[in-house]
Chain A
Amino acid sequence: MNEIKEKQNCENQCSGLCCTRVENFCVNFGNNKILENVNLHIHCGELTAIIGPNGGGKSTLLKAMLGDIKHSGELKFFDAKGKHSGHPVIGYVPQNLHFETGTPTSVLDLFMASNFNTPTWLFTTKRIKRKVKESLSIVKAEHLIDRRLGALSGGELQRVLLALALDPVPDLLLLDEPVSGIDQNGLELFYKTVSELRDNYDLSVIIVSHDLEFVEKYADRAILINGTVLCNGSPKDVFNDKETLKTFGISWFNNRSNQLNVEGGN
């Protein structure tokens, strides 16, 4: 009897730290089932990478967690005392902005629009500028404050959006990694910044990733999604799973073994 009770406790709470739970998420577009019975348990201070094939529902899952897409199931957040504290504060970095590159919106304008009540079209103040610079300094992007969004490189834009997602500091940080537009160095810097954030702040990070190398290097956990959760565990376990092999194909697997062998040889 006691044992059962304890087990229930475990399921409703988290062991010590805060956590976020995704319970029975289903998403349908018309008659198409995009996601089915997705259950996740994400701890604070963990970097969780979501991987999977294109069209497998990775970005859809993030948008459903945001509440941007209609879905069934619940998103629950428990704070460090194991108390159910409702909906988490979510920071979100979208995959693409799809804005017109000629737009006159500057980085400062973007921050003002989302964090201040002062009408952006009318005036700005020194106090606002100082606060925005503080936010940008977390991702080392203070110098970009007066640049137009359209004039930023893919990597710079990504860092600016990350700074925006961290102000105010969220419980849950959702990142949708862009498929294109960022070079390898920019991506490496982005992952480094994110993994530093995970260490310095008490937040859970979920990143939709297309780059398995970075997942292996930086993520604490990997989740393979194709319509539903196929595999969930440490990046090593997931990468050695036969579902992952099936999803990404034999050529990816061979490439990876070769690389591992080379690294092992050195």
Chain B
Amino acid sequence: MMLELWYNFTDAVLPFQWLGHEFMKNALLAILLVTPIFGLLGTMIVMNKMAFFSDSLGHGAFTGIAIGSILGLMEPVLAAVVFSIAFALGITFIKNKSRASTDTIIGVFSSVAVALGLVLMSFGGSFNKYSSYLIGDLLSISASEILLLVFVFASVVILWTLIFNKLLLVSVNQSLAGSRGVKTLPVEMIFTSIIAVIVTISIQWVGLLIINSLLVLPAAAAKNITSNVRTYTLFSVMISVFSGVCGLIASYYFNTATGATIVLVSGIIFFVSLAFKSKFD
């Protein structure tokens, strides 16, 4: 019903050839929902130098999907979301409690998770049916999945409005945040859980190999050319959406993997932004 509205809208306003197919209309709507979330979450990942951390969350999600499939669930996504949240909370907790190098801890968790995922998926020689999780296929997105995205989009925006100030303070200095009454650990756990959820549900469309680039690149480019948090967020979201739409159109005409094409577009934007960096120092 809502989708009918969207189809009619695109036919009326965007009568392009590439939008003629229903799967392209679905893909465009999915991109308009998911790329702003990537842009939003990316700002904090880049600011906190957590690129490696968010990468490992992708690996956790991959294992989650494997476990979900082994358990024989119809929709492995639900099991995957539960597992990745547990995985994200686990790393965050250990990272906060342990005095060993964060880098090493994340590295260990990440490699074990991805190895476990591969072992489970290749069990019985059936790896081929999972290979789509490595590359992803955005054009396969279904109507019910788009509905799920609408729900996730709304939840992320609401949560982000509620916890962003606390996250920002923690990112500047933990002791300072503590002295203003911010509980560091719970705030970080909510944040990493949000990333875990969004990474897990998008991995089937974007693929494990490049999902982290979608989180990191738009924010990294925006950081080069902005000097306060509001313009930073705005640019990050805009670059993310722009690369998403451009990447989708380009992948249609060149017949390439959509996720990877999107990453290439945001990569180019990042290098352009580098040229303007000195003006914002």
> Is there contact, CB below 8 Å, between A94 and B176?
yes
What residues of B have a CB within 8 angstroms of the CB of A121 in the complex? Answer: 40, 43, 160, 164, 229-230, 233
- Bound together, the chains give a CA A112 to CA B43 distance in angstroms of 17
- Bound together, the chains give a CA A103 to CA B171 distance in angstroms of 10
Q: Which of under 10, 10 to 19, 20 to 34, or 35 or more describes the interface residues of A?
A: 35 or more
Min Cβ gap B223→A in Å is 6
> Is there contact, CB below 8 Å, between B165 and A112?
yes
Closest to A165 in B: B179
Closest to A174 in B: B179
Closest to A65 in B: B179
What residues of B have a CB within 8 angstroms of the CB of A165 in the complex? Answer: 179
The answer to whether A104 and B178 touch (CB under 8 A), given A99-B172, A113-B165, is no
* Stretch in A131-139, A144-152, A186-194, A242-250 touching the partner: A144-152
> Is there contact, CB below 8 Å, between B165 and A114?
yes
Residue interface mask B210-254, A partner, CB < 8 A = 1: 000000000000110011111111000000000000000000000
- Bound together, the chains give a CA A164 to CA B233 distance in angstroms of 24
B168 within 8 A of A: yes
Closest to A104 in B: B232
Closest to B184 in A: A68
Min Cβ gap A96→B in Å is 8
Tell me which of A66, A103, A148, A164 has the highest count of chain B C-beta atoms within 10 A of its own C-beta.
A103
> Is there contact, CB below 8 Å, between A94 and B180?
no
What residues of B have a CB within 8 angstroms of the CB of A124 in the complex? Answer: 230
Q: CB within 8 A of B165: which of A97, A98, A119, A123?
A: A119
Min Cβ gap B41→A in Å is 11
> Is there contact, CB below 8 Å, between B173 and A97?
yes
What residues of A have a CB within 8 angstroms of the CB of B179 in the complex? Answer: 66, 68, 90-92, 165, 174
Closest to B172 in A: A99
What residues of B have a CB within 8 angstroms of the CB of A215 in the complex? Answer: none
A264 within 8 A of B: no
B150 within 8 A of A: no
B169 within 8 A of A: yes
B104 within 8 A of A: no
> Is there contact, CB below 8 Å, between A66 and B178?
yes
What residues of B have a CB within 8 angstroms of the CB of A66 in the complex? Answer: 175, 178-179
> Is there contact, CB below 8 Å, between B165 and A116?
yes
Min Cβ gap A62→B in Å is 9
Closest to B166 in A: A113
> Is there contact, CB below 8 Å, between A109 and B175?
no
The answer to whether A110 and B172 touch (CB under 8 A), given A104-B227, A105-B229, A146-B228, is yes
A122 within 8 A of B: yes
- Bound together, the chains give a CA A60 to CA B195 distance in angstroms of 33
B281 within 8 A of A: yes
- Bound together, the chains give a CA A102 to CA B226 distance in angstroms of 10
Min Cβ gap A154→B in Å is 15
A24 within 8 A of B: no
Tell me which of A66, A112, A151 has the highest count of chain B C-beta atoms within 10 A of its own C-beta.
A112
- Bound together, the chains give a CA A67 to CA B164 distance in angstroms of 23
Q: CB within 8 A of A92: which of B175, B222, B230?
A: B175
A9 within 8 A of B: no
Tell me which of B172, B173, B178, B233 has the highest count of chain A C-beta atoms within 10 A of its own C-beta.
B172
> Is there contact, CB below 8 Å, between A109 and B173?
no
Closest to A108 in B: B228
B98 within 8 A of A: no
> Is there contact, CB below 8 Å, between A114 and B164?
no
- Bound together, the chains give a CA A66 to CA B233 distance in angstroms of 32
Q: CB within 8 A of A109: which of B40, B160, B166, B228?
A: B228
> Is there contact, CB below 8 Å, between B228 and A105?
yes
Q: Restricting to B147-193, which residues have a CB under 8 Å from any CB of A?
A: 160-162, 164-166, 168-169, 171-180
- Bound together, the chains give a CA A66 to CA B184 distance in angstroms of 14
> Is there contact, CB below 8 Å, between A99 and B229?
no
- Bound together, the chains give a CA A91 to CA B175 distance in angstroms of 11
Min Cβ gap A196→B in Å is 22
- Bound together, the chains give a CA A54 to CA B180 distance in angstroms of 27
Min Cβ gap B251→A in Å is 30
B47 within 8 A of A: yes
What residues of A have a CB within 8 angstroms of the CB of B228 in the complex? Answer: 104-106, 108-109, 146, 148
Could you list some 25 contacts between A and B, CB below 8 A?
A67-B178, A68-B179, A94-B173, A100-B47, A100-B49, A104-B47, A104-B227, A104-B232, A105-B168, A105-B172, A106-B229, A109-B168, A110-B168, A113-B164, A114-B165, A117-B165, A119-B162, A119-B165, A120-B164, A120-B165, A120-B168, A121-B40, A121-B43, A122-B161, A147-B227
- Closest A-B pairs by Cβ, 5 of them: A92-B179, A106-B228, A113-B168, A104-B232, A121-B233
Beyond A123-B230, A149-B172: 14 further Cβ-contacts under 8 Å? A67-B178, A68-B175, A97-B173, A99-B173, A104-B228, A105-B47, A105-B171, A108-B228, A109-B230, A113-B172, A114-B180, A117-B165, A119-B161, A119-B162
